[in-house]
Amino acid sequence: MKQKILIVEDEIKLARLMSGYLLQAGFDTELIENGLEVVDRVKQQPVDFILLDLMLPGKDGIEICKEIRLFSQVPIIMVTARIEEIDRLLGLELGADDYICKPYSPREVLARIRAVGRRCTCVRQLVREPVIELYDESYSAEVKGEKVSLTQVEFQLFKTLLAQPDKVFTRQQLVAKVYDDHRVVSERTIDCHIKKIRKKLATLLPGAEVIQAVYGVGYKVEIC
């Protein structure tokens, strides 16, 4: 069965262009122009993805995303016309899975949809089974029954991210969580530790990008 993508966009030409490209890629699509119609539509007939514009007549994308997250974890990619809006949207912790800025190419949107789909499927399976366990006493993790040794800093980082799935932590917040002795630590040190954790997980969880980088902000563990 084909996956259905709901395109919520009041620029009709852009919406039809995107719809045509997604149809060629093997998806089904549906278009909605008015923000007031979206939540009821998703409640009545669930979809597989939502491409949601920020500025809409009737009700804006922020309110729509908040309302949908009260009853559904459908993957949502929010679209904005201003790149500076992305930082504000992240700060609101709306629960959107990705953000993209206009003007965009249909190819870029398709790539984002596929990436979000893979990511959500992998991480959802990992958390619900679950296949990741943490052990404070030994600063280690168990992944699919296999032990993964972590340094104290790596363990604290991973534990912090796993404790609040979908929450985006800035590098400064992670530094404060991990280094509680207030030492001076470069934010790039966090990047280094995250890279090492990912490498250790990659051999046991191929294809599952458990720790997500949020461009220009920090990191999160995402659950769809």
Express each pLDDT in 118-129 by its tens digit: 666 555 544 444
Over residues 46-70, the mean pLDDT reads 91
C-alpha 220/C-alpha 160 separation (Å) is 9
What's the order of all strands across the beta sheet hosting 169-170? 169-170, 218-221, 211-214
Which contacts qualify for 148-153: CB closer than 8 Å, 24 or more apart?
Answer: 148/200, 148/201, 148/204, 149/200, 150/197, 150/200, 151/193, 151/196, 153/178, 153/179, 153/193
- Contact 131/119 with Cβ under 8 angstroms? no
Q: Mind listing the pLDDT tens digit for each residue in 89-118?
A: 665 567 788 888 888 888 889 988 888 776
Token pair of 94, please? 């709306």
Highest mean predicted confidence (pLDDT) among 25-34, 139-148, 210-219: 25-34
State residue 196 phi and psi, 5-degree precision.
-70, -40
Token pair of 168, please? 């985006």
Confidence at residue 128, expressed as pLDDT on a 0 to 100 scale: 47
Confidence at residue 88, expressed as pLDDT on a 0 to 100 scale: 65
Please give the residue that has the higher pLDDT: either 53 or 115. Answer: 53
- Least Cα distance to 166 among 93, 78, 81 occurs for 93
Euclidean distance between the first and final Cα of the chain, in Å?
20
Total residue count of the chain as it appears in this document: 224
Rg (CA), the chain: 19
